[in-house]
Amino acid sequence: GMEHIDSYVFNKVEHIRFNSTVGRYVGYTEHGLKNAEAWNSDAGILGQEQAQLESYCKSHADILYSAILDKT
């Protein structure tokens, strides 16, 4: 399967990321943990990530897979 990671980096430090496998945000710093908690409890924000995943990754995956298959 595919995994979509959406990272939020500030000053070269990853603070928070959305991980499609677990379907939620994971925080890596104090600030990131607070945001992850807030964003995970907001269905609208989670829905936006899922929608982006559906539209972007699925269409690009088809293109990538066909390009890979063409070369094999």
Distance CA 44, CA 48 (A): 6
Burial zone of 36 (CB within 10 Å; 0-12 exposed, 13-18 middle, 19+ buried): buried
What are the chain's domains?
5-70 (3.10.320.10)
Tally of CB atoms within 10 A around 4: 17
Q: What pLDDT band is residue 39 in, cutting at 50, 70 and 90?
A: very high
For residue range 5-37, what is the model confidence (pLDDT) as tens digits? 888 898 999 999 998 888 899 999 999 999 999
Task: Write down the pTM of the prediction.
Answer: 0.62
C-alpha–C-alpha distance, residues 15 and 8, integer Å: 6
